[in-house]
A and B are shown apart, each in its own frame.
Chain A
Amino acid sequence: MYKTIIISTILSSLLLAEGFDYKGNIGVETAYINHDTVGKRDNQKSLTLALELKEKINEGQFVFSGKAILDKDDKNRRYFDANDLYYKHNFENSDLLIGRNTRFWGAMEFYNHTDNFNTKDWLDDPFDYDSKIGAWNIAYTHYFENSEVAFIAKLYEENQRVQDGKSANNFLPPNYSKKLEREKGEDRATFYLKYSGSGDEIQIDYTLLYQNGYDEQRYLSPVKGSVRQHAYIVNKLMGYATLVNGETIYKTELAYTKSENDYVSDYAQLSFGLEHTIYGIWDKSDLGLLVEYYRYDAKDKQKLGAKDFGNLFADDLTLGFRLSLNDGADSDLLGGLAIDRDNHEKILFIEYNTRLYNKYKLGLSYQHLSPENGSTFKELDRATLELGYYF
């Protein structure tokens, strides 16, 4: 109720203000899932709304962006959330942000070990790693000519809500409770020190990060008859970089996490890959070829590791392509094969996106999960259709 009042007040102020900038979309999403798990739905249908409002005030800017989902069957999946609700003040060589927002950290295309600022929005789609829950934080960033340094204090760890028990996207026990157990309490902030830069003569972008506070991944443990996520304290060093050489982009992400929790092992994460583009392969079409490898290694095998956290990228190779047609509708095709060497399965995926009549966007996708001996998953096909009107 309190959250609704705050959001409504800020929204009204933005809408009443002159010269505010807006954009958004309203759409339908439908998914068909072919599986043989008893008691799970084989389809998901929903209406979606996304809205962004921006209002510039002298040297500052108010930003609101929210999303709403209305699922036909899943009552849990009928919600509204404000991922961005912040004020940013721009100074000559720095800025200060106060509020709730999402951030992107990383270099890889398909999955980012280092993109850990926000809790992922499993209520929307647990397999869409770009779907996130905004985090309340205060951030100060100072800019130099070719680099920047930021200090960020994340003030609160979000609960992770999930789709209902009949959803094929819910892998948690039936007695899962969304209430997060925080090892050091709700008031313990998480701090980040981030340095990013770009090369002068060499086409390189790089970022180094130090984190102290709650880790993004959480383990499950029973509490008072329910199963809850547990957030624990870590010290983490991360880095990611992209380097361009000719028509090839080389990428890497690295992280080392020292856990302060007795159950959780220290762990290292590594990913590297490349993207090579062949221009004008047919008419104006460009073809990008992608190869990416991801690794997660726990130091102490007796303690909790990747599988216990549901991390699917412990020893994975992805081979993919992106065909950009460069037509008036900005059509593109993304596809590939993900080979999960740790969980013994292969995932074939293909996505097609195009614009219709200048205002509508159509997205089609198909995934086939093929398990091998030793996999915890069963064979599964998933086909989705998204159609949105953009304004």
Chain B
Amino acid sequence: MPASAERYLEVQRSEEFAQLRHRLRSYIFPTTVAFIVWYSLYVLLSAYARDFMAIKVIGNINVALIFGVLQFVSTFGIAWHYSRYAAQKLDPLADDIYKEIDNGPSAEPAAAATDGGKA
């Protein structure tokens, strides 16, 4: 069951939640930028660096093909790494906060509640 609006505000302002948010965003945002840049590089090279992409590396296998396959490798790699990161750094913290939401105002919310009243 969802908790009350005040409770969610309290939790959102708690230090623990700030930490969860920080851990999550400091992973997903830079990673998103990184893979978009990496993918864009591939698309841009396909459009504007034809001579480079055409260089044959082994037999008929050229740079374009290797670059394409590397996109697969990086996608698998990022997916695998994120699942590990989430299981180790995000899930336990999220579980703690989840339990605290139901346990109601604990030791710290006294201060947080006055803050909440102001906003």
Do A and B belong to a common assembly? no
- B interface vs A, CB < 8 Å? none
Binding site for B on A (CB under 8 A): none
